[in-house]
Structure 1
């Protein structure tokens, strides 16, 4: 029975979404820069104003950010943290795939804007459904190929027919272990969980950085403290990954448990 259900899901998950009824009325934009697999900068064909578009309904693996995150990224590279390696590796693959799709469409896309965020000193960021000129729904492709996850915190805002196809595409990608699903039970954690972990690490580095600056610890002790915390973090994740792999917990429970355990770790 499980095999039959998987077969049905696979066939349904591979169905391509037809363009929505409002496709022809959508504004066309030129893509100027792909930042990562779910964000790019565009310019409307009748305007010079650049706009950042964050793909709605999905979340994709992170790419290295640098700037304010350079210290934490550098420390994780130094200690060869596989969680970072996996996240950034799939983030780059997703970014490259989006670039490929955009180029296939002549760097022209259509966007249905579903929301907007004003950002002081920066170009406005909008949230939207993104389509290639042939009607291909980009979010669906990325989920189907295992390069994006459905962003469950916001999927309730998604039209029912689109949500169903995204759910089927994600189930198909998981069953057939495409993209991130190849290592979902070993080293990859969801983008939202990764960002939360990265923020905790960043705050921890700032705390021990103040100790270093104040002279209460040495550079060597600073390094040891971070390495020790990283080791504890990886032990926690390894244990919870094993529970997921052995079927002792579900994917949602896995994420809840990781969040709880990591909150406790970095609260110490």
Structure 2
């Protein structure tokens, strides 16, 4: 005969079981929350940063921001608002260079303001911008490959004849092989876009003497062809 276990003797085991169950439920909730937004600009997880940025669960570590949280500084640099610190993070568009429009020590160069305005128009009409961060430059600015509503911002600037490929030799390999492959693929597309603009002699390419020693001339005057229309 089996000895009957009274309810009073089962109560400790029931309490322990309930306690373990509650622990695992709380653990899974915390784990799930971390996966929603595993990092922000400070490398920490917060609920507020999720309101303005969305981390895609992909191997590139893509981070997506609402267009309203991105400010264009000039044709090759943007600033992203960190909702936690309420400070802007400067982001340089990897592999491209545009004529200067706001440089502290250089004059405004031909097509500098046009390049800046075109980037502003693109962001203004966009819904979101996606960033694949690849590292830092010598000025401690974040370097990134940027897509605007799924289309490469760098490629659009190059295709319009408002930017040239630059600083490829200064780029350092990423710790991620996936990111390095992505950078290689994007650079190939950038070269095609730049080649197309050169053949059409668009904007900065209308006069070969405008670009010397891989830099734009501060004093060269070019006919200011209107920017592409952004809808």
Tell me the TM-score normalised to structure 2 length.
0.55
Alpha-carbon deviations, 1:204-229, whole Å to 9, x = none? xxxxxxxxxxxxxxxxxxxxxxxxxx
Deviation at 1:23, TM superposition (A): 9.0
Q: Does residue 33 of the first structure (1) align with residue 54 of the second (2)?
A: no
- 1:178 aligned partner: 202
Q: Does residue 147 of the first structure (1) align with residue 162 of the second (2)?
A: yes
Largest Rg, 1 or 2: 2
Deviation at 1:33, TM superposition (A): 2.7
Structure with greater proportional strand content: 2
Is the alpha carbon distance of 1:192 and 1:45 closer, same or farther for their aligned partners in structure 2, counting shifts above 3 Å? Answer: farther
SS of structure 2 residue aligned to 1:63: coil
Deviation at 1:91, TM superposition (A): 0.9
Contact 2:61 2:132 in 1 (8 A): no
Tell me the TM-score normalised to structure 1 length.
0.48
What runs of 5+ residues in structure 1 fail to find an aligned partner? 1-20, 74-86, 199-233, 238-268
Structure 2: distance between partners of 1:46 and 1:131 = 23
1:128 to 138, 144, 147: 144
Structure 2: distance between partners of 1:175 and 1:110 = 30
Query: RMSD of the alignment, in Å?
Result: 3.3
Structure with greater proportional helix content: 1
Number of residue pairs the alignment of both structures matches? 153
Structure 1: distance between partners of 2:160 and 2:213 = 16
Structure 1: distance between partners of 2:59 and 2:98 = 24
Structure 2: distance between partners of 1:191 and 1:92 = 22
Structure 1: distance between partners of 2:195 and 2:97 = 16
Structure 1: distance between partners of 2:194 and 2:99 = 15
Which structure has the higher relative contact order (CA within 8 Å, separation 6+)? Answer: 1
